[in-house]
Structure 1
Amino acid sequence: MALLDRLRVYPVKGLDGIELEAADVLEGGTLARDREFALEDADGDVINGKRTERVHDLRTGFDPDTAVLEARDEASDGEVVQFSLETATDRDRAAEWFSGVFGVDVSLERDRTLGFVDRREMGPSVISTATLETVADWFDDLTVDGVRRRLRANIEIGGVEPFWEDRFVGDDAPAFKIDGVRLEGVTPCGRCVVPKRDPDTGDALPEFRERFVQKREATFPDWADEAAFDHYYTVMLIARVPGSDRGETLRVGDGVRVVDD
């Protein structure tokens, strides 16, 4: 039986994610607490893994009930610091701390209605557990949880086949519902430099992209619309929640079904 197996959000864009048992769909169509905060330099450019490997030195935790962020820089003294991100004072303190980490003046910005997702007109990212298991099998040194942390999806679907999420893009693609919440596929997720790096050390796996593309092409599902994919360095679905279903709640364990209407 297909079900919502995991929910993960990334409270500060580019930093560690947290597991949730339930998440509300925001007015903007994204999940509550996902990329709610972002570190930006003076030009408004975001600090993330695409920009600097330094993010891999950081370990962060976040309490979604209190908005308290814990952070530790393993490349320095490793001292744990805490900031209550509900207060402007502590957001300024956090910005000062992160400025020291990254060596550039940053501010900590907040967006409660949409978050700082890359594709601001879209919604949650979706992947199946079987896809994660398959990708992990392509590489000798990867675990399923390691791939999960590299790919950074919001919604993980269990009880389905590998690359199940590929069916929701292309001409005449169906949608799916998690309990009563409808999600429509928008685009496959082309990947950047981040997935090839170890999420803990930042070390790049040699020839990651080349092997990934080779295996992805060889195992591309017959039932997926290949014309909807620009290239094979692609995995994960970016979805959209229609306006009528925003404000609803997704819960781990909810049933999932494909709908054609």
Structure 2
Amino acid sequence: MARLEGLRVYPVKGLDGIDLEAAEILEGGTVAHDREFALFDADGDVLNGKRADRVHDLDTDFDPETRELAIETLDGERQRFDLESDRETASAWLSEFFDVELSLERDRSLGFVDRRGMGPSVISTATLRTVADWFDEITVEGARRRLRANIEVGGVDPFWEDRFVGADAPAFEVGEVRFEGVTPCGRCVVPQRDPDTGDPTPGFREQFVQRREETFPDWADADAFDHYYSLMLIARVPEHDRGETLRVDDPVAIVDD
């Protein structure tokens, strides 16, 4: 049976994700705690994995209850910061680490997601397994960390999420929450890097595109995809379902209406 296999959010944009058992859909249509914080430079530009591969030199954790960010560097230095009451100290430490003046900002209602008018990202466990099988050195967890989805659906076929974009695409429900597909996710440089070391995987993009084209589902609407370097669904939660809570093991069902 199709079910919500996993919920993962990225509390500080560009840094590590955390797994949750339950999460609310915010008024802005995103998952609570996802990209709740982000680092901005003096020009107002965000610092993330696309811009700074040194994010891979940090191992981070976040406690949603206390809003405490824990950081460990490659050389074993450990820091803990209270992002509820003292973001300035965290900003100063991260500025020194990245060697650029940074301010750690917060958005409680939407988060600093890339696509401000859209919502959670969705992928199936079977898709992650398939992508991992394309590369000798990539595990399923490695694929999960490279692709950075919020919603993971189990009990379905690979590329299940592709069916929710294009003409006459259906919607789906997770528990009582409706998701409507908006667009496939065109990928950036981040999935090409080892999430632990930041080292690029040789030939990643070329091999990914070749295998994606070879395995592209017959039932997917190819016209909805600009290119084959796309994977993962960016969805939208209608306003009437915002404020509802997602829970791991919630049933997932396709809705044709």
TM-score interval for Structure 1 and Structure 2 normalised by the shorter chain:
over 0.9
Quick one: which of 132, 156, 159 aligns to 2:152? Answer: 156
**Following superposition of structure 1 onto structure 2, how do residues 125-204 of structure 1 map, counting pairs within 5 Å?**
125-204=121-200
**Aligned-partner SS, 1:32:** coil
Cα distance in 1 for partners of 2:145, 2:248 equals: 18
Quick one: which of 64, 78, 83 aligns to 1:80? Answer: 78
- Once the two structures are superposed, what CA deviation does each residue of 1:85-143 show, in whole Å capped at 9, x if it has no partner? 111xx200000000011000000000000000000000000000000000000001110
Residue type matched to 1:34 in 2? Answer: D
**Following superposition of structure 1 onto structure 2, how do residues 1-261 of structure 1 map, counting pairs within 5 Å?**
1-74=1-74, 77-87=75-85, 90-261=86-257
Cα distance in 2 for partners of 1:110, 1:60 equals: 17
Cα distance in 2 for partners of 1:111, 1:143 equals: 33
Cα distance in 2 for partners of 1:11, 1:180 equals: 24
Q: How far does residue 79 in structure 1 lie from its aligned partner after superposition?
A: 1.5
Q: How far does residue 80 in structure 1 lie from its aligned partner after superposition?
A: 1.0
Q: How far does residue 78 in structure 1 lie from its aligned partner after superposition?
A: 2.1
Residue type matched to 1:57 in 2? Answer: D
Q: How far does residue 29 in structure 1 lie from its aligned partner after superposition?
A: 0.1
Structure 2 residues without counterparts, runs of 5 or longer: none
**Aligned-partner SS, 1:133:** helix
Residue type matched to 2:151 in 1? Answer: I
Structure 1 residues without counterparts, runs of 5 or longer: none
Cα distance in 2 for partners of 1:48, 1:72 equals: 17
Stretches of 4+ moved more than 6 A in 1?
none
**How many residues get paired?**
257
Q: How far does residue 52 in structure 1 lie from its aligned partner after superposition?
A: 1.0
Cα distance in 2 for partners of 1:73, 1:50 equals: 19
Residue type matched to 2:179 in 1? Answer: L
Residue type matched to 1:191 in 2? Answer: R
Cα distance in 2 for partners of 1:55, 1:86 equals: 22
Identity fraction in percent:
73
Residue type matched to 1:149 in 2? Answer: R
Q: How far does residue 23 in structure 1 lie from its aligned partner after superposition?
A: 0.4
CA RMSD of aligned residues (A): 0.5
Q: How far does residue 72 in structure 1 lie from its aligned partner after superposition?
A: 1.6
Q: How far does residue 32 in structure 1 lie from its aligned partner after superposition?
A: 0.5
- Once the two structures are superposed, what CA deviation does each residue of 1:190-214 show, in whole Å capped at 9, x if it has no partner? 0000001000100000010000000
